[in-house]
Structure 1
Amino acid sequence: MFRIKGRVPRKVLALGLPMAWGATAITYKLTCPLAHEGGLGARVVTSAVFFAVGTALIVHVRQALLRELRHVREVAGAAQSALLRPLPSRIDGLNVAAAQLSADRSACVGGDLYEVIATEHGVRAVMGDVRGHGIAAMGTVAAVLGSFREAVHDEPDLGRVLHRLDRALARHLRERARDEHPSSGLEPDSPVAEEFVTVLLLQIGRDGEITALNCGHPWPYLLSGTTVEPLARADPLPPLGPFPLPTELTPLRCGPLLPGDSLVLYTDGVEDARDARGQFFSLPAALIGAVRHDPITPQTILRTLFTTLLRHTRGRPADDIALLVLRNDRTPVQCTPLGARGTARPAATNPQPTNHL
C-alpha cells in the first residue's frame, strides 16, 4: 500500500506539468491582448511563448522517457544477475573467473549462459549460447540453467544431464509457443523451429580427468605452460532444439587438467569479432599473449582477453560475448613410503585470486 501511495505524486506530476504548460499557452492566447494584435512585435512574442511551451513539453517528455529507460535497465540487469549469478573465485580446488559482455550497450540481457558447480561426481561446468537475445533469450537461458543446476547433482552420468537439458528446453519452447499462439488450442509439433542452443558440458574429476559433451559449441582452449591448443578436435553434436539427441551419449575423454593448467571456455561471439578492416579476432594469439603475464591467474587471463578484444573491435563487438576460465590449483598429493620422513611439497604455488577483473 505504501508503494502505491508513493507512486501517486510522481504520476500526478508527470500529467500535471504538461497540462499546466498547455493551460498557460491557452490562457495567453485567449486573454492576453497582445496575442490578438497583428503587428510584427506581437507575432514575435506569441511565437516565443508557444516555442517556450513546446520546448518545455519536449524536455519533460524526454526526461520521463529517460527515467523509464533507466528503470527498465535496472530491472533487466537484476534479472540477468539472478540468472548468471556471480561465480565464486574458487570451486573445489579450481580457480574460476567469468564475465559476459552484451553487444548492445543499451541492453543488459544477452543469450549467453555459463555455470560451474561442485558435485559428488566432480566439478561440472556448462557454457552455452542461445540464438538471439532479449527477453525471449533470457527465458531460454533460465530454462537451461535451471535444469542444469538440478541435474548435475541428481545424474551421475554426463549424458543424462544433457538429456535433462534437452527436455527442459523442449518443454520451455512448447510453453512459449502456446503463449504466443493461444488461439490455436493445439499442442505445437514444432513450436519454435528456428530456436536452438549450443551447449558444452564439462566434468573435471578429483584426479583432473576431463570428460565433455559438446552440442554445436566451440571447443575450449587448454593452456598448459606456454602451450595453447584446443581441448579436443572431435566433431560436436548438433545444437539442442532442432534435432533429437541420440539415446546413448558417450562423453568424450579429453585427458587430465594438470595442476597449473587452465581451460578457457567462450561463446562464438569472441572468434566472430571483427576489426574495422573485417579481420576476425585471433583468440589463440590473444591467449598466447595472456599466458606471458606473471602470475597467470584466471582473472589476469580474463582481463587480458577482454582488453585485447575490445581494442580489436574498437569497443563495439557485433555479438554477445561470454568467457569462463578454470584453472587447476589443486595441490598434488605425493605418496611416500611407510616410515619415510618428510612431507610432500606442492608442485606449484599461486597467489590468491581477486574477485574482479
Structure 2
Amino acid sequence: MFDMLDSLEYSEDNMNKNFSWQKDGLLPYQNTESARAFLLNSYRSLALPNAEEAAYNNCTRFIYSLEHGDVFLKQADHSPLAIQPVLAFYGLSHYIKACLLTVDFAYPATVHVLAHGLSARRKKKQNYSFLHDEVKTQRHGLFSHFSEKMFHVKHLEGSKLNMYNLLVQIPELAPIFSFQAKHSPFHPLQKNEDGLYLLSKQVLDDYQMTENRLTDFLKQKTNGNVTVEKAEKDTLLIKLSSLSQAAPCRFNSLNSQWVFSRYKTHEAFYPELLIYYSLLYNLSMIARYETEWWYDLLKLTPGKEFSLIKQFLSVSMRKIPHLIENFLNIKMD
C-alpha cells in the first residue's frame, strides 16, 4: 500500500520548483560538507552577520538530529503498535529540531523552548473517546517555537486542538472516514493546463459562504497562498502560490493527488507537521500514562478509533521524513 512513497515524485511548474520524495531523501544533508554549506546558505538568507561561524557550530548538531530522527522512526516501524506513538513522536521531535537550526541559529536559546509545548488531560474521563479529546497549546515549548519559526504561525497560546479535527485533515485517512461516515473530508483538485486547480463549487455549501466571501476568507487565512482566481459553471479555479503553506489544500501521498479540506476549522489551516506533532504527542502520552485504555483499544478494537489510529501511525512513519525533506528542499531553493 505504501510502496509508492518510496519513489513518489511530483512537481509544480508554475512555481519553478521541483519536489521529489524518495527513500532516504534526507541522506544528502547528512554529511559535514553538504550540511555546512546548506546551513551557511540558510543563514546568509537570514542576513546573519556571523553566518559562517554559526554554520560551523551547528553542522554536527544538525546532522545528528536528522540521524536521531531516522533512528526513532525506523525503530517505530519495526516495533509493536503499543509503543509506536512514543518512538514516532520523539523521531518527529528530533527532525523538527534539525529544521529549527536552519531558521534559528541559536536554538535552543532558553530552556523554555525545550518543553513539548502542549498539554493533555492526564486523567481520562469515563467512556473516554480519543476523537473527542483535545490538547492545549502552551505559551512556551517546542510546538509554539517551531510553529512560528518554521511556518510563521503565531498566537497559538491557549488554543485547544481536537483530535477528530486533526485526523480529518490527513488525506491518507480519507478512505476510512469515507467508509465510516459515508462522507469524504476532502474535495479532489484537478490541475489544468494553466497551472490552476479545479475545485467543486460544493465547497461553498461546505463552508457556508458565497463565492466572494470564500475568496476573501482564503486570502486572509492563507496570507494569499491559496487564492480563487476565477469561477466557471460548477467549478472554482484556485491557485497555490506556496506548497509549504498550501493548507487547506493537502497532498495525498497514496494517490499523488492534491485535495481541498471540506472543513473550515482552524486545524484545517495548520501545516501538516503541526498536525502530526499534536496527534503523536497525545498518542504518546496515552501510550505512556493511560495504558489500560490504550491496551483495551489495541486488543479489543472496540470502536472506529482503532482503524484511524493504526492507519495514522502507519502513514506517519512514511510521510514525516518526506515532509521534513520537503521543508529542507524549499529552504535550499
TM-score (norm 2): 0.26
- Greater fraction of residues in strand: 1
* Greater RCO (Cα-Cα under 8 Å, separation 6 or more): 2
- Greater fraction of residues in helix: 2
Structure ID, larger Rg: 1
